Amino acid sequence: MAGGTESTRLWGGRFTGGPAEALARLSVSVQFDWRLAPYDLAASRAHARVLSRAGLLTAEELGAMLAALDDLEAACASGEFRPTVDDEDVHTALERGLLERLGTTGGKLRAGRSRNDQVATDLRLYLRDHARGVASRLVELCDALVEQAGQHIGTPAPGMTHLQHAQPVSFGHQLLAHVQAFARDLDRLSDWDRRAAVCPLGSGALSGSSLPLDPVAVARELGFTHPAPNSMDAVSDRDFAAEFLFVAALAGVHLSRLGEEIVLWTSQEFGWVELDDAFATGSSIMPQKKNADIAELARGKSGRLTGALVNVLTMLKGLPLTYDRDMQEVQEPVFDAVETLELVLPAMTGMIATMTVHADRIEAAAPKGYTLATEIADWLVRGHVPFREAHEITGALVALCAPDGRDLADLTDAELATVSAHLTPEVRSVLDVRGALEARTTPGSTGPRAVTDQLQNIAGRLDHWREWGAQHVVPR
């Protein structure tokens, strides 16, 4: 690392001595906000250009400033430049690095900006950048689910409500239900990004600047749609962080629901799915075990994501305008949420992509629990029997079968007739699982044709999100 070791504090002018050790230890944030360094440097380059256009940096000073910032960024990326125990935060550390390279000229960059608008800008840049990475990982998980669903469009499965067998469904349809939830998460990320694309830089500590700056140019250079319309709101707003955490928490809930189903499906009681050895673990004492740890960890991490959201909302609820140091507590939950999703999503994707689906076992379970009862009721309705009456007739059939454990198809014609004269032998035409699936033809239903249409539609949506996730909003 170049230069000396003298501490670079950004706020010490009116103080006759340094902070107490206890205060310094409580205040320091560089151990977690160092993640913002690339974004702070990008904002610094934009700010330097604005200062130059305002006549506050000469052309030579601007050139030296940009070269020093580029050199500092390379040193940060390589690990040559790192924060020290004396650096309070990422801004302090980077100013120290700039001063080491430029001397007093480096101090000119501080004009017209404050750590208040810097951190608000940096955090928005970080989240807008990483939201696209999260989106890409979500798309990859959806791709894995879509691939599995495409192989099981016609695989009958017992659809459930209350975790009880309800009606036959396509197993591919069930997998695509999870894709639809994740697609909504992707929609929310894009919608969030539209509101987050507001640039606070130029708002200063809270009141803007008396210097002839150009917030519009800064916003444009940093990939924002426009500058903040109110400088006080700009430095105190953390809605964008709370909203991102809500999207992350809801994605965590969706991951947890998928994880719970995988845990069930891989159990001995279900036996529908077997995980690849690379995406399962064993037991330290029971050698026969094969555990769905990825699914369980995804289920567990959802609590962590929800906790991050509650943490930030609780912290924000009573803050007066404008900036308060409490807001430092936004950063760690945000970083943790991003890193949690970036950790969980690839593992879930690998698990789904490599799992073996035992279609024969799923199909064998499809009619159990009288899942075709509704087909009988619908058949009666097509014969102009009021559904209220059809429901009662079908319930009576189930009551007749249950004591002996018989299936509906096992009833004789005479037994059918004793329950209702409407139950002619033709009712047997609907006592077939595959026929029940084929009969579901309405859009969004579980019939093979409707599921095929759903696959085609979701593929187009995923291509859109694939492109969005590959975008770079921060200048490289």
Contact 362, 151 (CB under 8 A): no
Amino acid at 122: D
How is residue 156 written in tokens?
């009958």
Domain 373-431 grouped into CATH 1.10.40.30: yes
Q: Identify the active-site residue in 207, 267, 283, 429.
A: 283
Close Cβ partners of 98 (under 8 Å, ≥ 6 residues apart): 44, 65, 68, 69, 72, 106, 109
CATH topology of domain 116-153+162-197+207-212+223-359: Fumarase C; Chain A, domain 2 (1.20.200)
Beta strands in 226-314 (DSSP E): 226-227, 273-274
Q: Which CATH architecture has domain 21-111?
A: Orthogonal Bundle (1.10)
Tens of pLDDT, residue by residue, the chain (476 residues): 333 445 566 655 666 677 788 888 888 999 999 999 999 999 999 999 999 999 999 999 999 999 999 999 999 999 999 999 889 999 999 999 999 999 999 999 999 999 999 999 999 999 999 999 999 999 999 999 999 999 999 999 999 999 999 999 999 999 999 999 999 999 999 999 999 999 999 999 999 999 999 999 999 999 999 999 999 999 999 999 999 999 999 999 999 999 999 999 999 999 999 999 999 998 889 888 899 999 999 999 999 999 999 999 999 999 999 999 999 999 999 999 999 999 999 999 999 999 999 999 999 999 999 999 999 999 999 999 999 999 999 999 999 999 999 999 999 999 999 999 999 999 999 999 999 999 999 999 999 999 999 999 999 999 999 999 998 877 65
Task: Indicate the pTM of the whole model.
Answer: 0.92
Q: Which stretches within 157-238 are classed as H helix?
A: 171-196, 215-221, 231-236
Query: Is 283 annotated in the active site?
Result: yes
Q: What residues does each domain of the chain span?
A: 21-111, 116-153+162-197+207-212+223-359, 373-431
357: β partners = 273
Q: Identify the active-site residue in 78, 162, 284, 384.
A: 162
Close Cβ partners of 306 (under 8 Å, ≥ 6 residues apart): 249, 252, 253
- Please return the burial class of 288, using the count of CB atoms within 10 Å of its CB with bins 0-12, 13-18 and 19+: exposed
CA distance 287 to 289: 6
Complete DSSP assignment for 45-69: HHHHHHHHHTTSS-HHHHHHHHHHH
Q: What pLDDT score was predicted for residue 115?
A: 95
Query: Is 429 annotated in the active site?
Result: no
SS3 assignment, position 105: helix
What CA–CA distances, in Å, run from 22 to 63, 91, 331, 363? 41, 21, 21, 65
